Structure 1
Amino acid sequence: MKTLLLARHAKSDWDDPGLADHDRPLNGRGRGDAPAMARRLVDEGVAVDRIVSSTALRARRTAEEYAAAFGRVLVEEPRLYAASARSILRIAAELPDECTVGMLVGHNPGMSDAVGELTGQLAELPTCAVAECTVDVDSWAELIEGSGRLLGVRTPGDI
Protein backbone atom coordinates (compact mmCIF):
# COMPACT_ATOMS: atom_id res chain seq x y z
CA MET A 1 0.00 0.00 0.00
CA LYS A 2 1.30 3.45 -0.97
CA THR A 3 0.00 6.90 -0.07
CA LEU A 4 0.24 9.82 -2.45
CA LEU A 5 -0.28 13.37 -1.24
CA LEU A 6 -1.06 15.73 -4.11
CA ALA A 7 -0.56 19.32 -2.97
CA ARG A 8 -1.30 22.58 -4.71
CA HIS A 9 1.08 25.44 -3.97
CA ALA A 10 0.02 28.18 -1.53
CA LYS A 11 -1.46 31.50 -2.67
CA SER A 12 0.90 33.41 -4.97
CA ASP A 13 1.61 37.10 -5.43
CA TRP A 14 0.39 38.84 -8.58
CA ASP A 15 1.63 42.34 -7.66
CA ASP A 16 4.39 42.47 -10.28
CA PRO A 17 2.77 42.07 -13.73
CA GLY A 18 6.19 41.95 -15.40
CA LEU A 19 7.31 38.93 -13.44
CA ALA A 20 7.40 35.63 -15.30
CA ASP A 21 4.79 33.14 -14.07
CA HIS A 22 7.51 30.68 -13.03
CA ASP A 23 9.05 33.33 -10.75
CA ARG A 24 5.95 34.47 -8.83
CA PRO A 25 6.50 34.28 -5.05
CA LEU A 26 3.97 33.51 -2.34
CA ASN A 27 1.85 36.38 -1.09
CA GLY A 28 1.28 37.09 2.62
CA ARG A 29 -1.55 34.60 2.92
CA GLY A 30 0.48 31.93 1.16
CA ARG A 31 3.46 32.52 3.45
CA GLY A 32 1.13 31.86 6.38
CA ASP A 33 -0.88 28.97 4.91
CA ALA A 34 2.09 26.82 3.83
CA PRO A 35 3.67 26.38 7.28
CA ALA A 36 0.22 26.04 8.88
CA MET A 37 -0.68 23.17 6.53
CA ALA A 38 2.69 21.53 7.13
CA ARG A 39 2.19 21.73 10.92
CA ARG A 40 -1.34 20.36 10.56
CA LEU A 41 -0.12 17.29 8.67
CA VAL A 42 2.61 16.65 11.24
CA ASP A 43 0.13 17.15 14.11
CA GLU A 44 -2.21 14.62 12.46
CA GLY A 45 0.59 12.05 12.40
CA VAL A 46 1.21 12.12 8.65
CA ALA A 47 4.75 11.00 7.80
CA VAL A 48 6.16 11.77 4.36
CA ASP A 49 9.12 9.90 2.89
CA ARG A 50 9.72 12.01 -0.23
CA ILE A 51 8.65 15.50 -1.32
CA VAL A 52 8.86 16.40 -5.01
CA SER A 53 8.12 19.93 -6.15
CA SER A 54 7.64 21.94 -9.29
CA THR A 55 10.55 24.29 -9.90
CA ALA A 56 8.24 27.34 -9.90
CA LEU A 57 9.10 29.65 -6.99
CA ARG A 58 5.64 29.54 -5.38
CA ALA A 59 5.60 25.72 -5.43
CA ARG A 60 9.17 25.44 -4.15
CA ARG A 61 8.48 27.81 -1.26
CA THR A 62 5.38 25.81 -0.34
CA ALA A 63 7.27 22.52 -0.59
CA GLU A 64 10.13 23.90 1.50
CA GLU A 65 7.68 24.31 4.39
CA TYR A 66 6.64 20.65 4.07
CA ALA A 67 10.26 19.53 3.78
CA ALA A 68 11.22 21.44 6.93
CA ALA A 69 8.22 20.10 8.87
CA PHE A 70 8.88 16.49 7.85
CA GLY A 71 12.68 16.71 8.04
CA ARG A 72 13.06 15.73 4.38
CA VAL A 73 15.21 16.94 1.51
CA LEU A 74 13.17 18.59 -1.22
CA VAL A 75 13.49 17.14 -4.72
CA GLU A 76 12.79 19.60 -7.54
CA GLU A 77 11.13 18.26 -10.68
CA PRO A 78 10.87 20.64 -13.68
CA ARG A 79 8.19 18.45 -15.30
CA LEU A 80 5.74 19.32 -12.49
CA TYR A 81 5.52 22.94 -13.67
CA ALA A 82 2.27 23.23 -15.66
CA ALA A 83 2.02 19.43 -15.75
CA SER A 84 -1.06 17.58 -16.94
CA ALA A 85 -2.74 14.97 -14.76
CA ARG A 86 -1.14 12.14 -16.70
CA SER A 87 2.31 13.72 -16.39
CA ILE A 88 1.81 14.08 -12.64
CA LEU A 89 0.85 10.42 -12.33
CA ARG A 90 3.89 9.41 -14.43
CA ILE A 91 6.12 11.38 -12.05
CA ALA A 92 4.45 9.66 -9.07
CA ALA A 93 5.07 6.28 -10.73
CA GLU A 94 8.81 7.12 -10.68
CA LEU A 95 8.97 7.47 -6.89
CA PRO A 96 11.40 4.98 -5.32
CA ASP A 97 9.70 1.90 -3.93
CA GLU A 98 11.21 2.37 -0.47
CA CYS A 99 9.05 5.49 -0.29
CA THR A 100 5.70 4.59 1.29
CA VAL A 101 4.26 8.12 1.42
CA GLY A 102 5.12 10.50 -1.39
CA MET A 103 4.11 14.13 -1.80
CA LEU A 104 4.02 16.05 -5.07
CA VAL A 105 3.67 19.84 -4.93
CA GLY A 106 2.46 21.53 -8.09
CA HIS A 107 -0.17 23.56 -9.84
CA ASN A 108 -3.76 23.51 -10.97
CA PRO A 109 -5.50 22.39 -13.03
CA GLY A 110 -3.06 19.47 -13.13
CA MET A 111 -3.11 18.60 -9.44
CA SER A 112 -6.92 18.59 -9.18
CA ASP A 113 -7.15 16.64 -12.42
CA ALA A 114 -4.57 14.12 -11.17
CA VAL A 115 -6.73 13.39 -8.12
CA GLY A 116 -9.63 12.70 -10.47
CA GLU A 117 -7.56 10.52 -12.80
CA LEU A 118 -6.08 8.51 -9.94
CA THR A 119 -9.23 8.04 -7.85
CA GLY A 120 -12.17 8.62 -10.18
CA GLN A 121 -13.40 11.30 -7.76
CA LEU A 122 -13.53 14.97 -8.61
CA ALA A 123 -11.61 17.21 -6.23
CA GLU A 124 -11.02 20.89 -6.90
CA LEU A 125 -7.94 21.80 -4.89
CA PRO A 126 -7.84 25.41 -3.70
CA THR A 127 -4.43 26.95 -3.05
CA CYS A 128 -2.39 25.09 -0.43
CA ALA A 129 -4.81 22.14 -0.36
CA VAL A 130 -3.52 18.59 0.06
CA ALA A 131 -5.37 15.56 -1.31
CA GLU A 132 -4.53 12.26 0.37
CA CYS A 133 -4.86 9.21 -1.88
CA THR A 134 -4.05 5.57 -1.23
CA VAL A 135 -2.99 3.12 -3.90
CA ASP A 136 -3.01 -0.62 -3.29
CA VAL A 137 0.33 -1.36 -4.99
CA ASP A 138 3.72 -2.61 -3.86
CA SER A 139 5.63 -0.60 -6.45
CA TRP A 140 4.97 2.98 -7.55
CA ALA A 141 5.48 1.78 -11.13
CA GLU A 142 2.16 -0.08 -10.79
CA LEU A 143 0.28 3.19 -10.23
CA ILE A 144 -2.27 3.72 -13.01
CA GLU A 145 -5.38 5.78 -13.62
CA GLY A 146 -8.25 4.67 -11.44
CA SER A 147 -6.05 2.65 -9.08
CA GLY A 148 -6.31 5.00 -6.11
CA ARG A 149 -8.82 5.96 -3.45
CA LEU A 150 -9.30 9.51 -2.18
CA LEU A 151 -9.14 9.56 1.62
CA GLY A 152 -9.73 13.29 1.90
CA VAL A 153 -8.72 16.82 1.05
CA ARG A 154 -7.25 19.19 3.62
CA THR A 155 -7.46 22.94 3.00
CA PRO A 156 -6.15 25.99 4.87
CA GLY A 157 -9.79 26.96 5.50
CA ASP A 158 -10.17 23.82 7.63
CA ILE A 159 -7.50 24.94 10.10
Structure 2
Amino acid sequence: MTCTLFLTRHAKSAWNTDAPSDHARPLNKRGRRSAGALGNWLRQQSAQPQQVLSSSAQRTRETYELMELPAPATFTERLYHASAQIIFDVLREASKPNVLLLGHNPGLMQFAHDIVKHPPAHSRFEDYPTGATLMVQFEIASWDQLQTASGRVLDFVVPRELLGE
Protein backbone atom coordinates (compact mmCIF):
# COMPACT_ATOMS: atom_id res chain seq x y z
CA MET A 1 0.00 0.00 0.00
CA THR A 2 1.13 3.58 -0.55
CA CYS A 3 0.51 7.04 0.82
CA THR A 4 1.01 10.14 -1.29
CA LEU A 5 1.92 13.58 0.02
CA PHE A 6 1.48 16.87 -1.80
CA LEU A 7 3.70 19.29 0.12
CA THR A 8 2.86 22.89 -0.81
CA ARG A 9 4.28 26.16 0.39
CA HIS A 10 1.60 28.88 0.38
CA ALA A 11 1.40 31.05 -2.72
CA LYS A 12 3.00 34.51 -2.89
CA SER A 13 1.73 36.81 -0.16
CA ALA A 14 1.33 40.57 -0.01
CA TRP A 15 3.76 42.64 2.04
CA ASN A 16 2.21 46.06 1.43
CA THR A 17 -1.01 45.41 3.29
CA ASP A 18 -2.96 46.71 6.25
CA ALA A 19 -2.99 43.24 7.79
CA PRO A 20 -2.61 43.57 11.57
CA SER A 21 -0.10 40.69 11.79
CA ASP A 22 2.02 38.28 9.76
CA HIS A 23 -0.62 35.61 10.39
CA ALA A 24 -3.25 37.79 8.69
CA ARG A 25 -1.27 38.63 5.53
CA PRO A 26 -3.26 37.78 2.36
CA LEU A 27 -2.04 36.60 -1.04
CA ASN A 28 -1.04 39.14 -3.64
CA LYS A 29 -2.29 39.12 -7.25
CA ARG A 30 0.44 36.77 -8.46
CA GLY A 31 -0.21 34.49 -5.48
CA ARG A 32 -3.89 34.21 -6.36
CA ARG A 33 -3.04 33.27 -9.97
CA SER A 34 -0.45 30.78 -8.74
CA ALA A 35 -2.86 29.08 -6.33
CA GLY A 36 -5.38 28.60 -9.14
CA ALA A 37 -2.69 27.13 -11.40
CA LEU A 38 -1.56 24.76 -8.63
CA GLY A 39 -5.15 23.59 -8.17
CA ASN A 40 -5.45 22.89 -11.90
CA TRP A 41 -2.19 20.94 -11.81
CA LEU A 42 -3.27 18.93 -8.76
CA ARG A 43 -6.59 17.97 -10.34
CA GLN A 44 -4.67 16.52 -13.32
CA GLN A 45 -2.58 14.14 -11.19
CA SER A 46 -3.37 10.43 -10.98
CA ALA A 47 -3.53 10.65 -7.18
CA GLN A 48 -5.79 13.31 -5.69
CA PRO A 49 -5.61 14.84 -2.22
CA GLN A 50 -8.28 13.35 0.05
CA GLN A 51 -7.39 15.41 3.09
CA VAL A 52 -5.77 18.83 3.53
CA LEU A 53 -3.73 19.77 6.58
CA SER A 54 -2.95 23.47 6.60
CA SER A 55 -1.51 26.27 8.64
CA SER A 56 -4.20 28.57 9.99
CA ALA A 57 -2.58 31.66 8.40
CA GLN A 58 -4.64 33.77 5.98
CA ARG A 59 -2.26 33.10 3.06
CA THR A 60 -2.50 29.31 3.44
CA ARG A 61 -6.30 29.49 3.76
CA GLU A 62 -6.49 31.56 0.56
CA THR A 63 -4.12 29.21 -1.25
CA TYR A 64 -6.36 26.26 -0.35
CA GLU A 65 -9.57 28.08 -1.34
CA LEU A 66 -8.19 29.15 -4.72
CA MET A 67 -6.95 25.63 -5.47
CA GLU A 68 -10.63 24.59 -5.52
CA LEU A 69 -9.95 21.04 -4.34
CA PRO A 70 -12.78 18.76 -3.20
CA ALA A 71 -10.73 17.52 -0.23
CA PRO A 72 -11.78 18.88 3.18
CA ALA A 73 -9.24 21.01 5.05
CA THR A 74 -8.20 21.20 8.67
CA PHE A 75 -6.55 24.53 9.57
CA THR A 76 -4.26 24.30 12.55
CA GLU A 77 -2.10 26.75 14.45
CA ARG A 78 0.45 23.94 14.85
CA LEU A 79 1.48 24.33 11.18
CA TYR A 80 1.94 28.12 11.32
CA HIS A 81 5.72 28.57 10.91
CA ALA A 82 6.14 24.98 12.11
CA SER A 83 9.50 23.26 12.33
CA ALA A 84 10.22 20.18 10.21
CA GLN A 85 9.65 18.00 13.30
CA ILE A 86 6.22 19.48 14.00
CA ILE A 87 5.23 19.01 10.34
CA PHE A 88 6.37 15.38 10.60
CA ASP A 89 4.29 14.89 13.77
CA VAL A 90 1.16 16.49 12.25
CA LEU A 91 1.43 14.39 9.08
CA ARG A 92 1.76 11.19 11.11
CA GLU A 93 -1.75 11.96 12.45
CA ALA A 94 -3.35 12.14 8.97
CA SER A 95 -6.24 9.77 8.37
CA LYS A 96 -6.39 9.55 4.55
CA PRO A 97 -3.74 8.02 2.25
CA ASN A 98 -3.46 11.09 -0.04
CA VAL A 99 -2.71 14.29 1.86
CA LEU A 100 -2.02 17.87 0.84
CA LEU A 101 -0.05 19.72 3.50
CA LEU A 102 0.12 23.53 3.23
CA GLY A 103 2.68 25.45 5.21
CA HIS A 104 5.59 27.89 5.45
CA ASN A 105 9.35 28.05 5.08
CA PRO A 106 11.82 27.38 6.51
CA GLY A 107 10.21 24.36 8.21
CA LEU A 108 8.46 23.13 5.06
CA MET A 109 11.67 23.27 3.02
CA GLN A 110 13.58 21.37 5.69
CA PHE A 111 10.80 18.78 5.97
CA ALA A 112 10.85 18.26 2.18
CA HIS A 113 14.58 17.58 2.31
CA ASP A 114 14.21 15.25 5.30
CA ILE A 115 11.52 12.96 3.87
CA VAL A 116 12.83 12.14 0.38
CA LYS A 117 15.31 9.40 -0.50
CA HIS A 118 16.65 11.44 -3.41
CA PRO A 119 15.84 15.09 -4.07
CA PRO A 120 14.33 16.01 -7.43
CA ALA A 121 16.64 17.35 -10.11
CA HIS A 122 15.07 20.79 -9.96
CA SER A 123 16.97 24.01 -9.35
CA ARG A 124 14.29 25.42 -7.02
CA PHE A 125 13.99 22.44 -4.66
CA GLU A 126 16.80 23.80 -2.48
CA ASP A 127 15.02 27.05 -1.62
CA TYR A 128 11.39 25.88 -1.99
CA PRO A 129 9.86 29.15 -3.28
CA THR A 130 6.27 30.25 -2.69
CA GLY A 131 3.80 27.83 -4.24
CA ALA A 132 6.40 25.08 -4.67
CA THR A 133 4.72 21.68 -4.54
CA LEU A 134 6.38 18.32 -4.02
CA MET A 135 4.49 15.14 -4.87
CA VAL A 136 6.06 12.24 -3.01
CA GLN A 137 4.99 8.64 -2.47
CA PHE A 138 5.70 6.39 0.52
CA GLU A 139 5.48 2.60 0.70
CA ILE A 140 3.46 2.62 3.91
CA ALA A 141 -0.07 1.56 4.85
CA SER A 142 -0.75 4.62 7.03
CA TRP A 143 0.95 7.88 7.97
CA ASP A 144 1.82 6.72 11.47
CA GLN A 145 4.45 4.51 9.76
CA LEU A 146 6.17 7.51 8.13
CA GLN A 147 9.97 7.55 8.33
CA THR A 148 12.46 10.17 7.21
CA ALA A 149 14.39 9.68 3.94
CA SER A 150 11.77 7.18 2.70
CA GLY A 151 9.79 9.07 0.07
CA ARG A 152 10.03 8.61 -3.69
CA VAL A 153 9.62 11.89 -5.53
CA LEU A 154 6.93 11.75 -8.22
CA ASP A 155 7.07 15.42 -9.21
CA PHE A 156 8.08 18.90 -8.10
CA VAL A 157 6.64 22.08 -9.58
CA VAL A 158 6.74 25.81 -9.00
CA PRO A 159 3.91 28.11 -10.11
CA ARG A 160 6.06 30.04 -12.61
CA GLU A 161 6.37 26.86 -14.67
CA LEU A 162 2.62 26.28 -14.59
CA LEU A 163 1.88 29.89 -15.55
CA GLY A 164 4.52 29.94 -18.30
CA GLU A 165 6.45 32.79 -16.65
Same fold flag (TM > 0.5): yes
Q: What is the match of residue 44 of structure 1? A: 45
Alignment of 1:86-101 (within 5 A): 86-96=85-95, 99-101=96-98
Shift of 1:65: 2.5
Q: What is the match of residue 160 of structure 2? A: 157
AA paired with 1:91?
V
Provide the C-alpha distance between the structure 2 equivalents of 1:150 and 1:31, rounded to a whole number of angstroms: 26
Over 3 Å counting, the alpha-carbon distance change for 1:57 and 1:146 in structure 2 is: same
CA contact (8 A) 2:97 2:143 kept: no
Shift of 1:18: 6.5
Question: Post-superposition, which runs of at least 4 consecutive aligned residues in structure 1 deviate over 6 A?
Answer: none
CA contact (8 A) 2:131 2:159 kept: yes
| TM value normalised by structure 2 | 0.87
SS of structure 1 residue aligned to 2:5: strand
Q: What is the match of residue 25 of structure 1? A: 26
CA contact (8 A) 1:115 1:121 kept: no
Q: What is the match of residue 81 of structure 1? A: 80
| 1:131 equivalenced with 2:134 (yes/no) | yes
Unaligned runs of 5+ in 1: none
Q: Provide, for residues 108-142 of structure 1, a one-character-per-residue CA deviation record: whole Å limited to 9, x for no partner.
A: 11111111111154533211111011111112101
How high is the sequence identity, in percent, across the aligned residues?
34
Alpha-carbon RMSD across the aligned residues, in angstroms, is: 1.6
Q: What is the match of residue 10 of structure 1? A: 11
Shift of 1:158: 1.4
Shift of 1:92: 0.7
| TM value normalised by structure 1 | 0.90
CA contact (8 A) 1:64 1:74 kept: no
CA contact (8 A) 1:80 1:88 kept: yes
Unaligned runs of 5+ in 2: 120-124
